[in-house]
Amino acid sequence: MYIVESYSVAVILTVITMLCWGSWANTQKLAAKTWRFELFYWDYVLGILLFSLILGFSLGSTGSIGMGFVENLKQAQWSSVSSALAGGVIFNLANILIVAAIAIAGMSVAFPVGIGIALVLGVIINYFAAPQGNALQLFGGVSLVTIAIILDALAYRKKAAQNQKVPTNGIVLSVVGGVLMALFYRFVASSMATNLANPEAGMLTPYTAVFIFAIGILISNFLFNTILMKKPFEGTPVTYSQYFKGSFKEHLTGILGGMIWCIGMSLSIIAAGKAGFAISYGLGQGATLIAALWGVFIWKEFKNAPKGVNTLLTMMFLLFVGGLGLIILAGS
């Protein structure tokens, strides 16, 4: 299987993770014109599972180092499998709660609260579970990225120019979703071998861990998304018959979104063997700023924005670059 052997390559992979995690939602934005999110989400989950298999039978099964995908899957102990499965279930619930929070409280509240908590708490959890890198630089970088996320929220709020009270349940969903999003990565990391060249008996390689993680997402989706379909946060209920009536393009868009997200997850887990889980996760969760770049330059969400918004956005991008640089230096 392929193993990252240099820190510079690991950094490149984590930056790609950030790009993928910050870009997959564009597929949902494209599909939203004709396709409900609850229906899109099924294809998104299938896309995650599909790419995990593609990666397992390609990079996870080539080369003479480590243990092949199928071989590793056969020898996996239940403790490792259950940990990766739990990671998938937790991620799926977190993802759905944050999406619900966006629907209730809006992007400017849900994203900074949810992803901000996930970023800070996730780095802390992963660093203390497996310390690697310079703590001062790592947490300094995380702090800058967090401030950048807050500035992004202020820019959205200033543009919206709304004085309405934010629904309390939207904030609660954001907080709960953010805490869960911070936890899922550690469960997947705990299932993995520490020595990828010679994996410990019963432990998983990154490729097997991502595949089992994807199965956890799929299994839990039959519960979580079925409830969401029957009791949507917005709009009328949708049915499975509507899903099967979707066009090829609509289904393909969702599958593509899931594959893009899974590319990011896979590269993050693969890179963690060299960069450390805290740095890998921290860089990946900078995806909020990538999403902001899409919003500003492609979707023109800040076109004709009021005075002061461009200053906030400029400061946001500068802090993001500075935070990114510190996180990278933390592991060098």
pLDDT in tens, 63-94: 888 999 999 999 999 999 999 999 999 999 99
Let me know if residue 22 belongs to a domain.
yes
What DSSP line would sit under 282-318, residue for residue?
Answer: HHHTTHHHHHHHIIIIIS-TTTTPPTTHHHHHHHHHH
- Please check the confidence at residue 130 and state whether its pLDDT lies above 80: yes
The residues, any chain, with a CB within 8 Å of residue 122's CB and separated by 6 or more, are 181, 182, 183, 185, 186, 281, 282, 285
Which pLDDT does position 195 carry in this prediction?
Answer: 92
Helix (H) or strand (E) holding 224: helix 206-230
Give 192 or 295, the one with higher predicted confidence.
Answer: 192
Residue 166 predicted with pLDDT over 60 = no
pLDDT score of 63: 86
The DSSP letter of residue 133 is: S
Domain assignment present for 11: yes
Note whether 257 and 25 are within 8 A (CB).
Answer: yes
| Model pLDDT, residue 307 | 82
Average pLDDT over every residue of 33-54:
94
Average pLDDT of the segment spanning 313-318: 90
> In this structure, is residue 2 part of a structural domain?
no
| Least confident stretch, 40-49, 162-171, 282-291 | 162-171
For residue 19, the enclosing domain spans: 7-330
- Tell me the pLDDT band of 155, cut-offs 50, 70 and 90: confident
DSSP string, 180-223: HHHHHHHHHHHTB-S-SSSPPTTPBPHHHHHHHHHHHHHHHHHH
Residue 252 lies in a domain: yes
CB 142 within 8 A of CB 150: no
* Owner of token pair 């994807």: 214
Inside any domain, residue 14: yes
170 has pLDDT over 80: no
pTM above 0.85, yes or no: yes
1: in domain: no
- Measured over the CA atoms of residue 227, residue 231, residue 234 and residue 236, the dihedral's sign is positive
pLDDT tens digits, 91-127: 999 998 987 787 676 666 677 778 778 888 999 999 9
Two tokens, residue 80:
């490792």
* Within-domain flag for 222: yes
Which of 139-148, 212-221, 230-239 tops mean pLDDT? 212-221
Secondary structure letter of residue 76 according to DSSP: -
Q: How many domains does the chain have?
A: 1
In a domain, 251, yes or no: yes
301-310 average pLDDT score: 79
**pLDDT (0 to 100) of residue 45:** 97
Place 297 in a pLDDT band, splitting at 50, 70 and 90: confident
What confidence score (pLDDT) does residue 50 get?
A: 98
DSSP character at residue 63:
S
Of 13-27, 42-56, 155-169, where does mean pLDDT reach its minimum? 155-169
